[in-house]
Structure 1
């Protein structure tokens, strides 16, 4: 059925076509016109519907460049342990959840570094809370380790012999991947679909028009991945673009419907779980983390992707992992040529521990940095988790947004949900006002990274702009105040002079009231109304 054209008028339209635009006409899935109300009225476009924006701000929709839809949805509709103040409170939450419904108990978000007990739940404590025979899987906030009940452990053959096994504490590495596969396999297809719908609805209510799903054999499996892509194709909501994180899997990724062979293809783990690969030991543990792929394997994967004309991507957080990535990219360039590597616009996810040499390697090989500013907001700063894991000197160098943007590394922002919430304006704020002001980028640059940046990471350079002919994916926001950040100041000096001819964005610093999403439109179709 053909949709009627819709005129949105009496608002503030964020468009490079006209910095003073107040009206936007959508015809089908495309923007037909951007300009003033008077011009729209005079042109007599004959829109079938007219929406009075009542002064609201219309901006391109956000793109979350790194999510795990099923796990996020399970947290939204199930057991969310994030923000709980104590281990005892977490166990109480597990007990209440287990008593309220049958089946496996899947939860997420605990963080022992925030608890006075300073440790994760034990196997015995899980049995007391949920029952000795229940499958219980509770992932740590970074999703790189988890606690599992005795029943779940017993369902995994040879678990005790796997790397990362602990008989009573959190499971890491191969042991964690194995119990996660069993735990997620215990939920029904209906439950999985419910979780995926919850994630897309939650994203739409936050002005997100597209999600980059990072799947893989050790994350949710093929059925979860293809099921999500099929659901997103059949039902209204944010677009979903899948990345399949399996080594040397370019052909398979295409068969599964993925746009790239990457996402969470792990070179290393996470700092919180002591599994990110470091060049020097952790400050609070006698380990340097773990490297899942070495430089030769990274090079093989990139070459495989280049030869299949497929985007490659890797998860890399620690400096040893990022060094392996740089060496692997160089090795691939030796095989297929530097230009063929550059044109692939390959991705690195997270990229936390970067120095000048590693940033230079990203630039040289044309790599997109898919990063999560909320990590700094959550774990950065004095006495934060980063500082406890690494010490003040190394922690201070994490998440250098300014250094990346300053030399032209393309940035795409995401949440890594369920690791951090789907909160795009919060992400923009975290990049513009990080713990270390030296790492800050402008609000406008951060907004671009969370809108156009997500499309560019997909190779779609025309996405994320409201101009005639563009795809009509946008969001309408109730904003308390629009401000214009002075172009010569990357941190906090502001101008409201309308003569600047520069688009205003919501005030995000200090005690500013967060914007409220009123409507989200994906390819011309309204998928959320407040």
Structure 2
């Protein structure tokens, strides 16, 4: 048998032909595969150990997997790289247990930053629904710990934020007249967009690049080989997107595909190098901030949320994108927003032809509170649902934030992944980081063990949505699966027992019987450890080695 090197040999390898052998390869080409050949950045062969020796003789490098699992690299279909990096390297309040602890962490962060009064600092992740005080800090409390700093702290859903007096001043004298302005509380809607723009506008190029590098470096440690960046004038900036795309194009990390969320901005999206005019093009906001657009009022507020654009504007945007051959997409969470989306896209399909609309695989981000009629419409119109299962893990269940905002009956209908798949709606999974963390196996687990049992899907379907689904959402059907001819973008995981879910039981029946003829996945039962990434390879190049 040809001598094999350890996995560490991938670290500095410039070999054009590499054979990985002696592990488990997750591939539809061969459910019993133990070896894979990469050649010039493409999967050249997948098969069993008995046939690997003939390929080993011609390989420039043979690597012993020592029982490790090889899978396609994950695709996170919705991220905000700069904001995620700022949370990774700065103030992250996601796990903060109380209002008092949050204020102390903010104070310590400001002191440790060394920023002079008037300087800008950003943080993320507070969630008053998880605090015993059940309220956000008032402006006086925030100013006391900010010490004169222009401080921006986004809520966990990034649809409202705390802004210190210094930051409010930077946003300009028009701020108090903006929709969503509160003199002593979190800012939402247009007021939030104003303070976020002021804060991000004062970031230096060095700060942005450092945050983006942190996100890309972290992603590959999790087996993520590609990211969809959801940019736009209300969420980042043109410079932010072009800088990120240039950084990713230099190599050494995941591939990045940008979306630009601005109405009618076909030419802008193309000029910036975006693959679509969509992503966070907001039809509405978020449930946590009471800005998701609903058909009926919130349970804990006497209104139906925010509607930023209507069906006519949606139709104009989809028409312009379809005529230009460019993918469109929208952020829509509430059933009111999703109803407007369906109405707008359906109008364009009637005008330009259904197949012409379906061919571009226009996207909807989040798609949480869906009616059965809207699910059927998404399938009819060929829309891809770019969704975040961690939302249910964080805020679903019998007593979570969804119940607070909607009541138990409506909350139970949230994030209906099984119904979407049954209807034929393509799914692409992501995190919306920093809203929820980059955590691909946790995302697969969240979908397979949805807190509402009737919405659960198999781990295999969830894994597909987080790998091949992300590529199909880009209009690419050649990637995200380890078969000959596919890009060699893969992840290597520490050895673990593999299981196969029986077809008659989504959750409980797990089998290790090889006669099933189905590739196995790690056991993702809640409470157990998630797989550990040993290496990530993007188009044949090793970008991470543990």
TM over 0.5, yes or no? yes
1:4 Cα deviation (Å)? 2.8
| Residues in 2 aligned to 1:166 and 1:85: alpha-carbon distance in whole angstroms | 25
Normalised TM-score (structure 1): 0.98
- Of residues 370, 377, 380, the one that matches 1:361 is 377
- 8 Å CA contact 1:309–1:344 kept in 2: the answer is yes
- 8 Å CA contact 2:15–2:61 kept in 1: the answer is no
| Residues in 2 aligned to 1:454 and 1:268: alpha-carbon distance in whole angstroms | 23
Matched, 1:241 2:257: yes
- Specify the alignment match of 2:283 in structure 1: 267
- Of residues 84, 109, 113, the one that matches 1:72 is 84
- 8 Å CA contact 1:479–1:514 kept in 2: the answer is no
| Residues in 2 aligned to 1:22 and 1:12: alpha-carbon distance in whole angstroms | 5
- Specify the alignment match of 2:5 in structure 1: none
- Specify the alignment match of 1:154 in structure 2: 169
- Of residues 60, 85, 89, the one that matches 2:72 is 60
Matched, 1:137 2:149: no
1:27 Cα deviation (Å)? 1.4
- Of residues 395, 400, 404, the one that matches 1:384 is 400
- Of residues 49, 56, 59, the one that matches 1:47 is 59
- The alignment partner of 1:476 has SS state of strand
Matched, 1:163 2:175: no
- Structure 1 residues 72 and 44: alpha-carbon distance in aligned structure 2, compared to 1, 3 A threshold: closer
- Of residues 10, 13, 34, the one that matches 2:25 is 13
Matched, 1:330 2:346: yes
| Residues in 2 aligned to 1:256 and 1:3: alpha-carbon distance in whole angstroms | 34
Where do 1:365-376 residues align within 5 Å?
A: 365-376=381-392
Normalised TM-score (structure 2): 0.95
- 1:329-386, Cα deviation, whole Å (9 max, x unpaired): 1111122122211111100000001111001110110000000000000000111000
- Specify the alignment match of 2:302 in structure 1: 286
- 8 Å CA contact 1:275–1:290 kept in 2: the answer is yes
Matched, 1:406 2:398: no
- Specify the alignment match of 1:87 in structure 2: 99
1:177 Cα deviation (Å)? 0.7
| Residues in 2 aligned to 1:482 and 1:273: alpha-carbon distance in whole angstroms | 41
1:44 Cα deviation (Å)? 4.3
More deviation, 434-443/23-32: 23-32
| Residues in 2 aligned to 1:3 and 1:91: alpha-carbon distance in whole angstroms | 52
- 8 Å CA contact 2:445–2:526 kept in 1: the answer is no
- 8 Å CA contact 1:480–1:513 kept in 2: the answer is no
| Residues in 1 aligned to 2:160 and 2:69: alpha-carbon distance in whole angstroms | 41
- The alignment partner of 1:168 has SS state of coil
> Runs of 5+ in structure 1 lacking a partner?
none
More deviation, 121-130/155-164: 121-130
1:185 Cα deviation (Å)? 1.5
- Specify the alignment match of 1:107 in structure 2: 123
More deviation, 189-198/482-491: 482-491
- The alignment partner of 1:206 has SS state of coil
- Specify the alignment match of 2:3 in structure 1: none
Moved segments of 4+, more than 3 Å: none
| Residues in 2 aligned to 1:321 and 1:491: alpha-carbon distance in whole angstroms | 32
- Structure 1 residues 7 and 168: alpha-carbon distance in aligned structure 2, compared to 1, 3 A threshold: same
| Residues in 2 aligned to 1:439 and 1:473: alpha-carbon distance in whole angstroms | 30
| Residues in 1 aligned to 2:69 and 2:429: alpha-carbon distance in whole angstroms | 21
| Residues in 1 aligned to 2:495 and 2:142: alpha-carbon distance in whole angstroms | 45
| Residues in 2 aligned to 1:491 and 1:298: alpha-carbon distance in whole angstroms | 39
- Specify the alignment match of 2:464 in structure 1: 448
1:479 Cα deviation (Å)? 4.1
- 8 Å CA contact 1:215–1:243 kept in 2: the answer is yes
- The alignment partner of 1:327 has SS state of helix
- Specify the alignment match of 1:321 in structure 2: 337
- Specify the alignment match of 2:4 in structure 1: none
1:407 Cα deviation (Å)? 1.3
- 1:363-419, Cα deviation, whole Å (9 max, x unpaired): 110000000000000000111000000000000000000000011100000000000
1:489 Cα deviation (Å)? 2.0
> Runs of 5+ in structure 2 lacking a partner?
1-12
